[in-house]
Amino acid sequence: MASWNSYCYCKLCDRPLSTHDYGTSLGKKTTYCRFCASTAEATGKSRIILGLVLITIATPLIYLQVGNKPLLLGIPAPVITILFGAYYIATHFREKSTYSPIYDRWVMKHGTDPDKWPGR
């Protein structure tokens, strides 16, 4: 089932954008809104998974491989994977707190079916 992180968002239009409502340019790195042409923000389902994998799988593996030997700037490798994991998880929750309310508001007004959203 689709949820808030299945869509891109336009802050200017204050709405979620389904696949028909945004375009990509510059080798798909930039997403833009079809209604106002401003840059839209893409959310990612995979960030929280990536974060959890880094902490629960990559960290013990790296610890077994290299132990607590300092890798970068004197920081042990397992600490680096935990920091990256925490960063991805934090990004997920920051996105959720920004976009989930926009999605909820929109869906209350226009329903969950993106084919019936205005602007088609």
Chain positions contacting Zn ion, by CB under 5 A: 10, 12-13, 33, 35-36
Pick the closer one to Zn ion by CB: 13 or 77: 13
Q: Is 6 exposed, middle or buried (0-12, 13-18, 19+ CB in 10 A)?
A: middle
Distance CA 80, CA 86 (A): 10
Minimum distance from CB of 44 to Zn ion (Å)? Answer: 20
Q: In whole angstroms, what is the distance from residue 41 CA to residue 22 CA? A: 10
Strands (E) across the chain are located at 8-10, 15-17, 22-25, 30-33, 39-42, 70-72, 75-76
Minimum Å gap between C-beta 49 and Zn ion is 28
Compute the least distance from the CB of residue 10 to Zn ion, in Å: 3
User: Nearer to Zn ion by C-beta: 35 or 84?
Assistant: 35
**15 or 92: CB nearest Zn ion:** 15
2 or 36: CB nearest Zn ion: 36
Shortest reach from residue 61's CB to Zn ion, in Å: 43
